[in-house]
Structure 1
Amino acid sequence: MWSELSIEKKEKYKLLITNFASLSRVFSQKSSESNDNDITPIINSKFQETAFQKAFDALSEDIANTSFDASIKLDNDKKYLIGIKSFGYTTGYQKIAQFKSDSAYDDWSTLLSNIKMNVKNLEHNEANKLNKDLYKNLATKVANLRNARIASSKAQIKGFNGAGVNIDSIYHVLMPFKNKNQPQILVGQISYLPIDINHIKIIKNEKNNRHPQNFEFTDGQHNYRYTSSDSQLLMDFKNKEIVLETWDINYHDDPFYFFENLHLFNILQGNKTASIQIKSNDTTIIDSVCWMIPNKLGKLEESSGYNAFDGSTKLGKEDRKVSITQIQTKYKNKISTQELDFTVNQLKSILLKDWRGKSKIKERKELRTNLITFIRQIKNKELLEDIENLVFRSSTEMYIPIPDSKQFHTQKPNFFGKDIGTFLSDGKTLALPTTTERKFKLEFIPSGNVIEAYINQEAGKSIQSITNQDILGKWILWEVFQLKERELLTLDKLNDIGINGIRLTKFKDETRGIGLEFIWIDEENPPQDAIGWVAKNKKDA
Structure 2
Amino acid sequence: MFLQTQTSQNIENYTSALKAIGAFSNLFSSSDKPFIQYRVAENAFCKAFGADNLARADVAYDAIINGCGVGIKTFVLSGSSKIEKVAEFNSRSSELRMLKGLDLANKLADFRNERIEFADRLYNTQNRVYHIIGRDKLLIKVFETSYDLIDKNSIEILEETKSSLKFKDALNEYNFNFSKSVLMKRFVIPQECIEINVEILEEPINVLLNLAQPSLNKQIDAAKVKLQNAIGLLTQEELIPFVDYVILPLYSPEAKKKLKEPIVPIKSQLNQWNAGGRKRDPGEVYISIPSKIRNNAPDFFPEKDVIFNLKIPNGKVLSAKVCQDGSKALMTNPNKAMADWMLRDVLMLNENEVLTYDKLRKIGYDSVKITKSTEHDYFIDFTKLDEYESFIEKISEAQDGQFKLFL
TM-score w.r.t. length of structure 2: 0.77
Q: How much does 1:306 deviate?
A: 2.1
State how far apart, in whole Å, the 2-side matches of 1:409 and 1:111 are: 42
Residue number among 294, 298, 303 corresponding to 2:267 in the alignment: 303
Residue number among 122, 137, 141 corresponding to 1:156 in the alignment: 122
State how far apart, in whole Å, the 2-side matches of 1:97 and 1:465 are: 33
- 2:130 is paired with a residue of what secondary structure? strand
Residue number among 288, 291, 299 corresponding to 1:404 in the alignment: 291
Aligned pairs (5 A) from 1:56-205: 56-62=49-55, 66-73=59-66, 79-90=67-78, 92-104=82-94, 106=95, 108-112=96-100, 135-158=101-124, 167-178=126-137, 183-197=138-152, 199-205=153-159
Question: Contact (CA 8 Å) 1:300, 1:489: kept in 2 or not?
Answer: yes
Question: Contact (CA 8 Å) 1:440, 1:454: kept in 2 or not?
Answer: yes
2:199 counterpart residue number: 250
Amino acid at match of 2:157: I
State how far apart, in whole Å, the 1-side matches of 2:180 and 2:364 are: 18
1:163 counterpart residue number: none
1:515 counterpart residue number: 379
With over 3 angstroms needed to count, the CA separation of the structure-2 counterparts of 1:60 and 1:473, relative to structure 1, is: same
With over 3 angstroms needed to count, the CA separation of the structure-2 counterparts of 1:439 and 1:523, relative to structure 1, is: closer
1:289 aligns with 2:253: no
State how far apart, in whole Å, the 1-side matches of 2:186 and 2:147 are: 12
Q: In the TM superposition, what whole-angstrom CA distance separates every residue of 1:254-274 from its partner, at most 9, and x where no partner exists?
A: 43421343421588789x999
Q: How much does 1:213 deviate?
A: 5.2
Amino acid at match of 1:61: L
Residue number among 447, 457, 460 corresponding to 2:314 in the alignment: 447
- 2:98 is paired with a residue of what secondary structure? helix
Q: How much does 1:441 deviate?
A: 4.7
State how far apart, in whole Å, the 2-side matches of 1:200 and 1:63 are: 35
With over 3 angstroms needed to count, the CA separation of the structure-2 counterparts of 1:80 and 1:213, relative to structure 1, is: same
Amino acid at match of 1:2: L
1:54 aligns with 2:47: yes
Q: In the TM superposition, what whole-angstrom CA distance separates every residue of 1:106-145 from its partner, at most 9, and x where no partner exists?
A: 2x22224xxxxxxxxxxxxxxxxxxxxxx22111211112
Q: How much does 1:301 deviate?
A: 3.2
With over 3 angstroms needed to count, the CA separation of the structure-2 counterparts of 1:103 and 1:254, relative to structure 1, is: closer
With over 3 angstroms needed to count, the CA separation of the structure-2 counterparts of 1:269 and 1:445, relative to structure 1, is: farther
Q: In the TM superposition, what whole-angstrom CA distance separates every residue of 1:69-102 from its partner, at most 9, and x where no partner exists?
A: 11113xxxxx111111011222521100011111
With over 3 angstroms needed to count, the CA separation of the structure-2 counterparts of 1:401 and 1:202, relative to structure 1, is: same
Question: Contact (CA 8 Å) 2:46, 2:63: kept in 1 or not?
Answer: yes
Amino acid at match of 1:81: G
Residue number among 318, 336, 342 corresponding to 1:476 in the alignment: 342
- 2:76 is paired with a residue of what secondary structure? coil
Aligned-pair Cα RMSD in Å: 3.6
1:219 counterpart residue number: 169
State how far apart, in whole Å, the 2-side matches of 1:515 and 1:176 are: 34
State how far apart, in whole Å, the 1-side matches of 2:176 and 2:294 are: 45
Q: How much does 1:193 deviate?
A: 2.3
Q: In the TM superposition, what whole-angstrom CA distance separates every residue of 1:273-307 from its partner, at most 9, and x where no partner exists?
A: 9999xxxxxxxxxx743124152655543432123
Q: How much does 1:522 deviate?
A: 5.2
Question: Contact (CA 8 Å) 2:244, 2:371: kept in 1 or not?
Answer: yes
State how far apart, in whole Å, the 1-side matches of 2:158 and 2:174 are: 12
State how far apart, in whole Å, the 2-side matches of 1:311 and 1:6 are: 54
Amino acid at match of 1:503: I
Residue number among 179, 202, 211 corresponding to 1:229 in the alignment: 179
TM-score w.r.t. length of structure 1: 0.60
Residue number among 20, 40, 43 corresponding to 2:36 in the alignment: 43
Q: How much does 1:534 deviate?
A: 5.4
Q: How much does 1:41 deviate?
A: 1.7
With over 3 angstroms needed to count, the CA separation of the structure-2 counterparts of 1:449 and 1:64, relative to structure 1, is: closer
Higher percent of residues as helix: 1
Question: Contact (CA 8 Å) 1:152, 1:497: kept in 2 or not?
Answer: no
With over 3 angstroms needed to count, the CA separation of the structure-2 counterparts of 1:263 and 1:248, relative to structure 1, is: same
- 1:111 is paired with a residue of what secondary structure? coil
Question: Contact (CA 8 Å) 1:525, 1:537: kept in 2 or not?
Answer: no
State how far apart, in whole Å, the 2-side matches of 1:234 and 1:153 are: 19
Could you tell me which runs of 5 or more consecutive residues in structure 1 were left unpaired when the two chains were aligned: 34-38, 74-78, 113-134, 159-165, 277-286, 316-392, 422-437, 527-531
Question: Contact (CA 8 Å) 1:396, 1:474: kept in 2 or not?
Answer: yes
Higher percent of residues as strand: 2
Larger Rg: 1
Q: How much does 1:185 deviate?
A: 0.6
With over 3 angstroms needed to count, the CA separation of the structure-2 counterparts of 1:460 and 1:239, relative to structure 1, is: same
> Percent identity between the aligned chains?
22
Amino acid at match of 2:126: I
- 1:81 is paired with a residue of what secondary structure? strand
Q: In the TM superposition, what whole-angstrom CA distance separates every residue of 1:406-455 from its partner, at most 9, and x where no partner exists?
A: 94699339x44xxx42xxxxxxxxxxxxxxxx362533333221233343
Amino acid at match of 1:189: E
Amino acid at match of 1:172: H
Amino acid at match of 2:381: E
Question: Contact (CA 8 Å) 2:34, 2:198: kept in 1 or not?
Answer: yes
Q: How much does 1:489 deviate?
A: 3.6
